[in-house]
Structure 1
Amino acid sequence: MVSSSHEAMHRIFQEDPGVFARTFRTLGLPFPEPVAVSLMPTDLTEIQPLERRVDTLLRIDAAEGESYLLAVEAQGKKDRGKPGSWAYYMAHLYAKYRLPPLLLVTCQDSSTAEWAAETVVIGPAAWPTLSLRPLVLGPHNVPVFTDVDAAARDIPLATLSAITHGKNPNAGAILKALAAALQTVDEDTAMIFAELTELGLGSAPAAQIWRDLMAVDLSFFRSETSQRLRSEAKAIGRAEGQAIGRVEGRVEGRAEGRAEGRAEDILRILSKRGVEVSEQVRRRVVSCSDLDVLSAWLDQSLTVEAAEDLFGATEA
């Protein structure tokens, strides 16, 4: 079963894909700042009944004109079967999209990060056929944020730092800096990254530190802590219930925002590929609120010759 901590470790890159380039710039690796990012379908299943699904898949168009696929995998422990799956993901993505794929693995402990960073050679010893070389983010290389101003300048990276350093003896100072930094951004953004932090910390002792910090202002918090407060609110009365309803309304608005963003990605990809989009097609794409349907159209937008062909997969 996929844990909430696992989900948070890769969802940060969906919220702000630019955190990838910013993190590796601090490590001296030459990844350019993205100028366009598209959330891609994560299902890599073939016709055979064997499901394969990458955690997060992004198409990144860099400033220098280079485009590549970023596959993000969250890894909580060593798993002997994972390198084979990762190699499959990379080969499948390259065959499907004809874009260079890059594997990023996020870890929360140093031993798992060290294992994940090992180059895996596949093939006979006399003639290796395939070499897998993941990039790894973990406690060994993600910067520590204990300064409030620094955390406020890059909330997504500070959140990733808080999660990856959840077992650090200095976790309390890291979380205090993030909690203070969240007070400097709008409520919806704070809600997203506060939730990701609690989910990412999982059952680590630092999770209780975070819940205590968030108890000061929970108007935007909706994970385990807010579940408890919602129960208390029902006992307190109608006024508290109305406040929670407003939070839920913002969550629904967030889902609508994801659909709008995915529709924009579809139209942007078609435009970049020089595919003409009629007003009828544009209206149909932007009015769709079904994320599964939009994901199918997003996949189609990379290869279709005519914009109207987008809808074939969902009408069959």
Structure 2
Amino acid sequence: MTTQAHDNPIKLCREEPAFAVRLARDLLGVPIPAHSEVHAYSESGTDSEVRDLNADNVVLCREGEENRFGIIVEVQRGKDERKRFSWPAYQVNIRHRLTAPVALIVVCQQPAVAAWAAEAIELGHPGFTFRPLVLGPRNYPKLTEPSGSGELAEEMVLGTLIHEHAEEIEQLFAAVNAELALVPPEKAKRYTEYMLGQLSEQPRRILEALMEQDTYPYQSELLAEREARGRAEGEANALLIIIESRGLSLSDDERRRIETCQDLNELNSWLKLAATAPSVKAIIG
């Protein structure tokens, strides 16, 4: 099962498939053939002859109807020897499906994990050695200057996640905040949520403190939305405590409706009914 911390870097590639191309070409020096389009592609590397194989993210570079190059992006947060078998399988099977060259990139936050992921994988056949391309704290650039156009938003967001323990983290946050101010507000808020959802406690507090300065409009909007969500979650939890303490029967659908409600007025009205209503249905309708 994947976690939010695992998925957030992958969301950048899913939202902006060309980001994977930039990682491969600009940061790792992979020669990417000329192409006119970049598309998200199925992460499944499954063929009928093998068991399910699902990479984290795959993008496809195309020129007209021709598949030119595939890029697999994996996020690895810890050492897992099973990956030394699945990574070559992803590359071979997706290459077979695309009938085009395919590169595999592994993104790591921990230097020790990055060093492990970069080790050669001997496949048994003479001369057939698989070497993942790895991005980690030692080779991912620290982008402390905004581009002025928003074009480095994905690179800078990923950089804060990879370098969250770097001495320059405040500079990285200041730069990414300025960069996100240049992209559409909804995208800026999503990317900020990705960072807040993945960062460990200390760097997250630094980012939150910078956001509270309200330097950019999207930050104040996001803080207000997060505060409203927090209040709604608190009201929903209080309502569930009352329902459970009264011993009222609560179905999964009713619990889900309460937990996902973001309307504070509705939650308040439910709370007023909760003390005396004979059933959950009488509370939420």
Give TM-score scaled by structure 1 length.
0.63
Partner of 1:210: 207
- Whether 2:41 is the aligned partner of 1:40: answer yes
Partner of 2:169: 171
Which residue identity lines up with residue 14 of structure 2 in the other structure? Q
Partner of 2:14: 14
User: Structure 1 residues 55, 182: closer, same or farther in 2, change over 3 A?
Assistant: same
1:9-158 equivalent positions in 2, closer than 5 A: 9-23=9-23, 24-26=25-27, 28-31=29-32, 35-47=36-48, 50-61=51-62, 67-123=68-124, 127-128=125-126, 130-149=128-147, 152-158=150-156
Match of 1:219 among 218, 221, 238: 221
Q: 1:34–1:60: 8 Å Cα contact kept in structure 2? A: yes
1:166-315 equivalent positions in 2, closer than 5 A: 166-201=164-199, 203-215=200-212, 216=214, 217-220=219-222, 226-232=225-231
Q: Which has the higher contact order (CA 8 A, sep 6+)?
A: 1
3-state DSSP of counterpart to 2:81: coil
Give the Å deviation of 1:150. 5.7
Partner of 2:242: none
Deviations 1:230-266 (A, max 9, x none): 2336899xxx959xxxxxxxxxxxxxxxxxxxxxxxx
Q: Distance in 2 between matches of 1:149 and 1:121?
A: 41
3-state DSSP of counterpart to 2:80: coil
Give the Å deviation of 1:106. 0.8
Which residue identity lines up with residue 210 of structure 2 in the other structure? L
Q: Distance in 1 between matches of 2:192 and 2:263?
A: 21
Give the Å deviation of 1:152. 3.7
Which residue identity lines up with residue 229 of structure 2 in the other structure? R
3-state DSSP of counterpart to 1:148: coil
Structure 1: unaligned runs, 5 residues or longer: 243-316
The runs of at least 4 consecutive aligned structure 1 residues that moved more than 6 Å come to: 233-236
Deviations 1:90-130 (A, max 9, x none): 1211222322221111111222112111221111xxx5363
Give the Å deviation of 1:48. 7.4
Give TM-score scaled by structure 2 length.
0.69
Give the Å deviation of 1:88. 1.2
User: Structure 1 residues 67, 33: closer, same or farther in 2, change over 3 A?
Assistant: closer
Q: Distance in 2 between matches of 1:20 and 1:179?
A: 21
Give the Å deviation of 1:213. 2.8
User: Structure 1 residues 22, 51: closer, same or farther in 2, change over 3 A?
Assistant: closer
Partner of 1:4: 4
Give the Å deviation of 1:73. 0.6
User: Structure 1 residues 58, 148: closer, same or farther in 2, change over 3 A?
Assistant: closer
Partner of 1:254: none
Q: Distance in 1 between matches of 2:44 and 2:234?
A: 43
Which residue identity lines up with residue 231 of structure 2 in the other structure? E
> Computing the radius of gyration over CA atoms, which structure comes out larger, 1 or 2?
2
Structure 2: unaligned runs, 5 residues or longer: 236-261, 265-285
Give the Å deviation of 1:180. 2.5
Q: 1:21–1:33: 8 Å Cα contact kept in structure 2? A: no
3-state DSSP of counterpart to 2:106: strand
Q: 2:145–2:175: 8 Å Cα contact kept in structure 1? A: yes
Which residue identity lines up with residue 74 of structure 2 in the other structure? E
Which residue identity lines up with residue 19 of structure 1 in the other structure? F
